[in-house]
Amino acid sequence: MNQLDSYVARNVFMATLVVIIVIVGLDAIFTLVDELDQLKGDYQFVQALEFMGLRLPRRAYEYMPMACLIGCLAGLGSMAANSELTVMRAAGISVARISISVLKPMAVLMIFSLLLAEFAIPTLERIAQSQKAVAQGKGDALSNKGKGYWHREGYDFMRFTAVEPGGVLHGVTLYEFDVDRELQRVRTAQRAIYQRSHWQMEDVQDVLLLGDHTEVRSFPTSSWDTELTPESLSVVMVQPRDMSISNLFSYTRYLSKQGLNADNYLLSFWRKVTQPLGTFALVILGISFIFGPLRAVTPGYRIFSGILVGLVYKYAEELLAPASIVFGFAPIWASIIPIAGCFLLGVLLMRKAG
């Protein structure tokens, strides 16, 4: 039985690995082509190539559920085409036992993808975004070009054109409002460096809005006291989908204390936590297809079916995410509902098959 497990696992794992390489490779080409339209300043082809390379783990993580589904269909499908599954069934091996053999390599991939999401992706994403922003033009504090990074603390709003992971901000703009939401002060700085307990801003322009007139002052350096630290900047620099599970959990608590809406971060948190369950459900569905409706079809049709099911699952998640915010149900249900649907359908088809 160990030889059977090894044989099935090897077929499914190699098929899944090929699928991941193909999908991520195609995505990398499209990403690089898109980056070529954003060349600016010191951000040229070599930097765009490096940016694309740093984001490859993120893309592999995002495509992992679909790749596991297609890999399962391709690996088991080739065995079905060679009548190997028929021989296994004739030898008295149940569908459940074959499913366990398939799920073992998938469990390894699920663990690997969780480690990527928790440790590698947030760091690589911060480096990629930081290097790109700095290369494209780090000192233009008031430029509206590029997305920049925004953060709110109480009645203050902050914008940075570029953020270096070591605790250096470029193109800093600080907007200070009073309790009546009236703008009171605007400070800009070319750069700010963290000094243990505060930020030291350089080349500062301070604009005070004093009723019927304004007062403009300039300083070579100025101290800026804030609760924002280089550690918390790791949250500001990346999108919620690129943050680690632990950072998402802590940042949702921080937003709640600030009285801010944390739904987007909760959605990303639950999506990451439940992704292994989603992959598991898709693989169960894929196995049920092989022993059911896709038993005797061509390999191309199986792959097409896998892509179609994967897209339906992904779009269901994407539609339920904003629906949870609009209709006010818990964000966890946006992830649980598609998973439960895939799992139940897979179990029903598998029981019907045998």
pLDDT digit string (tens) for 237-288? 788 888 999 989 988 887 888 787 888 899 999 999 999 999 999 999 999 8
Question: What is the mean pLDDT of the segment spanning 45-64?
Answer: 95
What integer pLDDT is reported at residue 354 of this predicted model?
63
Contact 306, 121 (CB under 8 A): no
Phi–psi pair at 148, nearest 5 degrees: 65, -175
CA distances, 167 to each of 65, 161, 200, 221 (Å) = 35, 14, 11, 17
- For the CA atoms of 151, 157, 159, 163, what is the dihedral angle to 10 degrees? -40
Other residues' Cβ atoms within 10 Å of the Cβ of residue 17 = 14
Q: Is the pLDDT confidence value at 1 over 70?
A: no
Query: Are 227 and 206 within 8 A, CB to CB?
Result: no
The mean per-residue pLDDT over the stretch 201-208 comes to 95
Higher model confidence: residue 345 or residue 294?
345
Per-residue confidence band for 352, with pLDDT thresholds at 50, 70 and 90: confident
Which of 161-165, 247-251, 339-343 has the weakest average pLDDT? Answer: 161-165
Q: Residue range 307-319: average pLDDT?
A: 90
pLDDT given at position 137: 66
Residue 9 to residue 194: CA distance in whole angstroms: 50
Residue 295, SS3 per DSSP: coil
Closest to 129 in 3D by CA, of 196, 210, 35? 35
Q: Is the pLDDT at 230 greater than 90, yes or no?
A: no
Average pLDDT for residues 158-170, to the nearest whole number? 86
Taking only Cα atoms into account, the Rg of the chain, rounded to an integer number of angstroms, comes to: 25
Dig out the tokens for 142 from the structure.
């008031």
Rounded to two decimals, what is the model's pTM?
A: 0.84
The Cβ of residue 118 has, within 10 Å, a number of other Cβ atoms equal to 15
Q: How many Å separate Cα 334 from the centre of its chain? A: 16
